[in-house]
A and B are shown apart, each in its own frame.
Chain A
Amino acid sequence: MLTDVIAAVATPPGRSAIALIRVSGRGCHAVAAKVLQPFNPQPYRRARRAKAVDPRTGEILDQVLYTVFAAPASYTGEDMVEIGTHGGLLVPAGVLAALFAAGARQAAPGEFTRRAVLNGKLDLIQAEAVADVIDAATPAQRRAALRQLDRGLSRRIEQLREQVLELEALVSYDIDFPEEDSGPVPPQRVEAAATALLEALRGLLATAADGEKLREGALVVIAGRPNAGKSSLFNALLGSERAIVTEIPGTTRDAIEAMASCGGFPFRLVDTAGLRESEDRVEKLGIEVSRRYLRAADLVLFCVEAGRDLEPEEKRFVEELGDRVLIVRTKADLVPIDELPPPEAAELWVSALSGTGLDRLRDRLAERAFSGLAGGGDLAELVTRERHRLALERALEEVESFVRARREGIEAAVAATHLRAAVAALEELIGVVSTEDILDRVFSTFCVGK
């Protein structure tokens, strides 16, 4: 059932000054009334004091502050009550149990947001953004998520849908109004509209690489010969920002990956130095790195001790990676400063020991991995999830099929079925369709009326 009364503690468990309990669903005011004394729902959206009481025993559980919301003006779009209790482990759990006794049930994970979507308070993309805002670990992630929550991406997809409808209107006009003033729509006009649409779709899809990278973190792999200072660099880059160290499934337990924030952007740093001999490694070159990671890497930090020339095999390795490699001179503290590369050089230097050069390396990482996003304060609309990308790819595929069908001489009404499929793919991401939309476009564009 989707409208029954649910309740959950919305703040993390543990010692804290206050905790927040959310109650939502039809009849939740009556449920709250059994627990809160006194309970005055109106006026809505105003905080009031009350005692929280166990309805079974009459025992007073806490002094609370509560706020009542009436549907549809609430987060979920349903009637809601928010109860601020004292923090800690016992008090919130006690009030929650009292609410359950009064008729509420434990909310499933994400159920409040799910209801907000079902009640039209958020569209799907916004709901995903809620999770992303909560999970944001870096400023750039937060900015992107907030933009989506603000319907930035939704609006962009709506625009694309409009564009497809526009194109279909041109085709439909030709079919539905064969004897009009302006004559048939010139094929160039349809082609131009199709080309513009393809560009727009591809443009948005092109952000998927950056967008997914932004959500999941850019993969940076540290490589170099034994003893080149890889692990020190790894640890120095993580510094205090070191978040989670995960074991990567399918690799030895020595390959470590950790999230780091550099220049406000998220990175997944990987050090594969300790991998066992059996791993597929770039052994002939004497360079320590797993090939599997190398293939997936957005960037490779290639560590070379400061003050020595690159060996021929190292040069080959660097050449093979092309623009995905960044050479880092390590152990800079062991070399006189004038033997280090100048600031404007492609190579960077760091001293993991003193921390010198780390900030410049971080900035460079952000620049290289998020070239499309770094710099400008305002992020453009990004496709940050696979679900978005797949739907957009499907829409793109349909529009491409439409163009191909027309070129092959397949009649317009038949080719147009691809456009309807493209619209459906986009709508899956956001909203509803109506054939009326196409006609509205026809009438606003053409003078019809024999």
Chain B
Amino acid sequence: MVEVIVVGGGHAGCEAASAAARMGARVLLITSSLDTIGQMSCNPAIGGVAKGTVVREIDAFGGIMARAADRSTIQFRMLNRSKGPAVWAPRAQCDRTIYRRAVRRLLEENDNIMLLQGTVAALKLRGDKAIGVTTVDGRELAADAVILTAGTFLRGKIHIGTETRIPGGRAGDPAAVDIAEQLEALGLEVDRFKTGTPPRVDGRTVDFSKLERQDGEMPEYRFSHFERVPRPEQRPCWITWAGEEVKEIIRQNLKASALYGGAISGRGPRYCPSVEDKVVKFPDAERHQIFLEPEGLDTCELYVNGLSTSLPVEVQLRFLAAVPGLERARMTRPGYAIEYDYYPPHQLTPWLEVKAIERLFFAGQINGTTGYEEAAAQGVLAGINAVRRARGEEPVMLGRDTAYIGVLVDDLVTRGVDEPYRLFTSRAEFRLLLRQDNALKRLGPLARELGMLRSHEVEILQRRLEEEERLLESSRTTRVSPDQANGWLELWGERPLQEPTRIAELVRRPRVRLRELLRASGVELALGDLEEALMSVEIELKYEGYLERERQAARKLSEMANFRLPVDLPYLEFKSLSTEARQKLDRIRPQSLAQAGRIPGVSPSDLQNLVLEVLKRRRQVA
């Protein structure tokens, strides 16, 4: 008997299937094409600012993304390296083919997962409860819970210029229409978003002598906490730019753009603008950077990152030729924009279940997000909770101070989205607590408790936690003598010591490094994958005061989060609340006071009155 059906084999679907299977559920993953499971439809990279941390969070739950990225990394960079370890952001260029195959293989390694090729025509419902799906070829599949991860395939429409309009979920793949119509008929609110991709070029026709080469770094770094696979052969990226000539060509052809010609009505993201957008909104910028990213080891095709466009093919050819180094480049595929359905995510609970349809979960781009990592993160949470709900257990929610996954999902269900949603560190109130180095510490224990980690993974978690404990303890108790420390202090340009000083105290000075102090005072250091523990401990000690401040604020928030709000509150009757607050609360139906406070339009005074209304009701009930 299948417990969970996952519809869709993208990044959300694969993580959902994996998470549910790790919880011990029998999972059926159904997708229109088994060959495109784990496909990277946009740029060939995993990670980045905030996103890289999410990859590590997914990995802490035993997920797939980190492992697949490690196996396919052909160029790696640690972004924000100069800005201090608290905001380090790992990002890997990945070989698309290796990545896709790795995902498929990781899924198949789990005996609880069955893969099935087919297109879902409809959800099977009993009352307001999802009990399975039917496929277009007439198969009836039953399950206790269904996770829908349809990505951009729901009524997807591809635009190249204003003339060309092809129904499709991704270049070359058909759109899903039937299920979109059923969901709308069920009364779910639906809206349209758009997103775009840039053209790709044949690397053999690129003049690399005019480009700046960008090699990878940190060969020892891995996303995954649980395995260390060798990296494949490494490839560089190349940097060039779009100057005045390119901008002029685009300016002259704006009318032919699907975006500006009026063919697309959906809203697009501000942070990933088309080159048309850049030219219009920032006319004074002299040039726009372009990164040529390798598509893989067995191809010379390059992804032209920075030139996302929906202009006609002929215009794309002309502006490409105006880019230094691409004068003679052959375009292998044109850029295009895609418009698709999403379901405004206020219709979901904080565990991603559709409020109107029990045991139906939505994860990924269908919820209005963008990015592989954002999709995968939702997949993990949906996978966990599909199983929890199917088994009649309490749903699992993640706090904003616990994980970027928590920030992401809370933003979605509480604030909603008005452009495709992407994570930024700025979205997190507690940026310093949510780091890539401490993802395992933050989430590993929960994953263990949920039964998602295998025994050797539990051991790794245990060792990591113990090592941090040991280093913290040593740093707090060990005093380093002037003899041991002053050589290093001089090197770092810090004042020398007069008397023995606790390491934990000394490391608060900005330029002082923990590793050298521990070594100088004879504390033994672990090597290999435990080295990261040292980094975590150094950050914890160095910024203890700051972190404590964030933790205090987080505790305050969790007090508010502990004030639960019944889901059936008659918000519209609460005359003491502003009209706007009443309507928003009625629509979103927050779980806690903390969540209510994050709804735009709900003021502190509304919150205060809400507390009084709830207390009054409690008294009436009692």
Q: A118-B609, A414-B543, A447-B282 are in contact. Are A176 and B424 (CB under 8 A)?
A: yes
Q: Are B89 and A178 in contact (CB under 8 A)?
A: yes
Complex Cα distance, B535 from A36, in Å, reads: 75
Q: How far is the CB of B289 from chain A (nearest CB, A)?
A: 5
Q: Which of A142-150, A241-249, A254-262, A437-445 contacts B (4 or more CB under 8 A)?
A: A437-445
* Mask of B595-615 contacts with A, CB within 8 angstroms, 1/0: 000001001111011001000
Complex Cα distance, B575 from A414, in Å, reads: 42
Interface size on A, residues (CB 8 A): 47
| Chain A residues closer than 8 Å to B495, beta-carbon distance | none
A12 lies within 8 A of chain B by Cβ: no
| Chain B residues closer than 8 Å to A409, beta-carbon distance | 510-511
Q: Are B612 and A1 in contact (CB under 8 A)?
A: yes
Complex Cα distance, B608 from A107, in Å, reads: 19
Q: Which of B105-113, B267-275, B445-453 contacts A (4 or more CB under 8 A)?
A: B267-275
B415 lies within 8 A of chain A by Cβ: yes
Q: Are A3 and B79 in contact (CB under 8 A)?
A: no
Q: Looking at the complex, which one of B80, B273, B281, B604 makes contact with A175 (CB distance below 8 Å)? A: B80
Q: Looking at the complex, which one of A119, A177, A447, A449 makes contact with B308 (CB distance below 8 Å)? A: A449
A436 lies within 8 A of chain B by Cβ: yes
Residue of A nearest to B601 (CB): A432
Q: Looking at the complex, which one of A1, A3, A179, A436 makes contact with B575 (CB distance below 8 Å)? A: A3
Q: How far is the CB of B16 from chain A (nearest CB, A)?
A: 27
B546 lies within 8 A of chain A by Cβ: yes
B161 lies within 8 A of chain A by Cβ: no
Q: For this complex, into which size category does the number of interface residues on chain B fall?
A: 35 or more
| Chain A residues closer than 8 Å to B484, beta-carbon distance | none
A448 lies within 8 A of chain B by Cβ: yes
B481 lies within 8 A of chain A by Cβ: no
Q: Which of B331-339, B388-396, B425-433, B559-567 contacts A (4 or more CB under 8 A)?
A: B425-433
Q: How far is the CB of A169 from chain B (nearest CB, A)?
A: 8
Q: Looking at the complex, which one of A120, A434, A449 makes contact with B273 (CB distance below 8 Å)? A: A449
Chain B residues 504 to 543 lying within 8 A of chain A, measured CB to CB, are 510-511, 543
Q: Are B576 and A435 in contact (CB under 8 A)?
A: no
A54 lies within 8 A of chain B by Cβ: no
Complex Cα distance, B254 from A78, in Å, reads: 52
| Chain A residues closer than 8 Å to B510, beta-carbon distance | 408-410
A315 lies within 8 A of chain B by Cβ: no
Interface secondary structure of A, over-half rule: loop
* Mask of A405-436 contacts with B, CB within 8 angstroms, 1/0: 00011111110110011000000000110111
Complex Cα distance, B609 from A3, in Å, reads: 9
Residue of A nearest to B508 (CB): A410
Q: Looking at the complex, which one of B281, B429, B575 makes contact with A26 (CB distance below 8 Å)? A: B575
Chain B residues 539 to 582 lying within 8 A of chain A, measured CB to CB, are 543, 546, 549-550, 575-576, 578-579
Q: How far is the CB of B356 from chain A (nearest CB, A)?
A: 27
B288 lies within 8 A of chain A by Cβ: yes
Q: Are B86 and A439 in contact (CB under 8 A)?
A: no
Residue of A nearest to B431 (CB): A413
| Chain A residues closer than 8 Å to B427, beta-carbon distance | 435-436, 439
Q: Are A182 and B84 in contact (CB under 8 A)?
A: no
Complex Cα distance, B378 from A345, in Å, reads: 80
B49 lies within 8 A of chain A by Cβ: yes
| Chain B residues closer than 8 Å to A432, beta-carbon distance | 603-604
Q: Which B residues are closer than 8 A to A by beta carbons?
A: 49-50, 79-80, 83-87, 89, 270-273, 277-278, 281-282, 285, 287-289, 291, 305-306, 308, 415, 424-429, 431-432, 510-511, 543, 546, 549-550, 575-576, 578-579, 600, 603-606, 608-609, 612, 616
Q: Which A residues are closer than 8 A to B by beta carbons?
A: 1-3, 26, 71-72, 77-79, 117-120, 172, 174-182, 408-414, 416-417, 420-421, 431-432, 434-436, 438-439, 442-443, 447-450
Can you list 17 contacts pairing A with B, beta carbon distance less than 8 Å?
A78-B576, A117-B605, A119-B578, A175-B83, A175-B87, A175-B425, A177-B271, A179-B291, A182-B285, A411-B84, A413-B432, A417-B550, A421-B549, A432-B603, A435-B427, A443-B271, A449-B273
Lowest 8 CB-CB distances: which A-B pairs, in order?
A411-B84, A447-B282, A118-B605, A409-B510, A172-B426, A443-B270, A449-B273, A176-B424
Known A175-B80, A177-B271, A412-B84; further 9 A-B contacts with Cβ < 8 A: A3-B609, A79-B575, A118-B605, A408-B510, A411-B83, A414-B543, A438-B426, A439-B424, A449-B277
